[in-house]
Structure 1
Amino acid sequence: MTGYYTLVTALPNLPPLAQCKQLPISRIALDRRLTMLSDEDLQQLQLAEKLYHQSDLSLQTLPDQTLVKDWQHQLNQLESPAIRERIQFRLEWQTLLAALRYRQQGRIGPEHFSGFGRWTGQIRRRWHEPLFGLDNALPFLAELQPLLQKGHSGELEQQLNAWLWKDLLFVERSFQFTLETVICFVLRWGLAEKHIKSDATQALVSFQRMSEQLLESPAITQHLQSAFEELS
């Protein structure tokens, strides 16, 4: 197995996800460092990123059987068992949350459910139970469900990403100067980038909401009218 001592020591420290307000390294600079990877390992990294970080739309929908088979085919191309497990873990949680959304919206029944991973069969069999009978196996799911029911998708995503971050960090620290170390770092970088963009979006939404509330205030409205009258 190739040892990437120079590359790993050249990667900056990523602060805890909740504290990450600015990326310590740009994607351009990160890609420049990743040229130290062999061609084969770079392909492994790119495949891992593609599977782990998917579009927001795909994360909110259940995959069809063709897509599930495609995911499994791509996963089988990953040589590292640890990385395969991390991505399987990610896709399984995607399936769980999408199933909860679909059921809540009444869009499908269990007979039309298609998902990825070890819990798919149980979800289909126990569709009408609040947490598909996974209460004991997945206590974290019980924490996320109320957020989903209340429509707090932003907070739900933050909590899930924080959990995924810890999962990746544990594996990253379990390896030293290997491809697994590099891949887990890059996957965490992707979570940090998404977190920062999400924070910026939420800040803009809050600002717009506050602006609308201020403009609807009688005092502000009267003040603006007076100002316009003075200018006319």
Structure 2
Amino acid sequence: MKYVVLMASLPPLGSLFEATAPPISRLKLESRLGLLEAADLQTLEQIAHLIAWPTRPLERTDAAFIEEAHRFLASNRSPTLRRLVTQRLELRTIVAAFRRRRRGESQPPTGEVWGFGAWVGLIERNWSAPTFQLEVIFPWVRQAHDLLEKDDLVGFETLQFSVVWAMLNRLEFGHTFDFEALIIYLARWSLVSRWSCYNGDIAVTRFRELVDAGLGNHKEILSSASQ
């Protein structure tokens, strides 16, 4: 019942790229989350922390972070939330591979845990292939490669917005008034919020900085894990 009340109180977000501002402010959104129980808030914070990879303490290694991700996936009972976390971290890994290669790494990283998910081995075996042989699995990877070849960093960032939005659309199926629906809404709200204040020049600068940071990526939030 609490999720029905909560979701009914949240305005539709509309389409991503047409938004000039989120239809609900962060302050009001956080106020709505006061309806959640402590266990729900803890799960929300866990997911936000995993998605917002760069917020991890600097002294923690990628290996420790990935181990934490696996613990969450093993303990959480929701297939939808496990898919959400898995898909987002796999996306981060693919983007990280592009960035590493762009900064001149002619071979995949050795002796370190640098990526997450089922496709790390395939990426490493096909490091020199334009799309890491991933285009059949992820058709958007071809477009990502082509955008980077043209040095269209704004287009590359925009593509990532589109890919994540499409992921969330697929995950939404079957969820309307439950906890999964809330998490998906918050993830979408984060994208709308970021897009509404998106600045192409800043995005280009950020990309060039992140090329030097391996898997580290732009910060994305879920409500209380604010940027």
TM-score by length of structure 2 reads 0.78
- Partner of 2:213 in structure 1? none
Task: Report the secondary structure of 1:35's partner residue.
Answer: helix
Identity across the alignment (%)? 30
Q: 1:92 maps to which residue?
A: 90
SS at match of 2:22: coil
The match for 2:67 among 66, 69, 73 is 69
Whole-Å separation in 1 of the counterparts to 2:44 and 2:137: 30
Instruction: Report what 2:197 is aligned to.
Output: 197
The answer (yes or no) to whether the contact 1:4–1:177 under 8 Å persists in 2 is yes
Structure 2 distance, partners of 1:49, 1:131, is: 29
Give the SS at the match of 1:7.
helix
Please tell me the residue identity of whatever aligns with 1:5: V
Cα 1:191–1:56, aligned 2, differ >3 Å: closer, same or farther? farther
Report deviation, 1:146: 1.4
Give the root-mean-square deviation of aligned CA atoms: 2.5
Q: Which has the higher contact order (CA 8 A, sep 6+)?
A: 2
Residue number in structure 2 paired with 1:230 = none
Give 1:132's aligned residue.
132
Distance 1:102 1:50 in 2: 23
Q: Is the contact made by 1:21 and 1:196 (CA closer than 8 Å) also made in structure 2?
A: yes
Residue 123 (structure 2) aligns with: 123
Once the two structures are superposed, residues 126-161 of structure 1 have per-residue CA deviations (whole angstroms, 9 ceiling, x without a partner) of: 212221222222211101111123332222121221
Runs of 5+ unmatched residues, structure 2:
204-227
The structure where helix makes up a greater share of residues is 1
Cα deviation digits, residues 38-72 of structure 1 (max 9, x gap): 11111111211222234499xxxxx7333322322
Label 1:204 to 1:115 Cα distance change in 2 as closer, same or farther (>3 A): closer
Aligned partner of 1:18 in structure 2 is 17
Partner of 1:82: 80
Q: Tell me the CA shift for residue 204 of structure 1.
A: 8.3
Letter in 2 for 1:130: P
Q: Which protein shows a greater Rg?
A: 1
**Partner AA of 1:48 in structure 2:** I
Alignment gaps of 5+ in structure 1: 58-62, 206-232
Runs of 4+ in 1 over 6 A off after TM superposition: none
Secondary structure at 2:17 match in 1: helix
Q: Is the 8 A contact 2:4 2:177 kept in 1?
A: yes
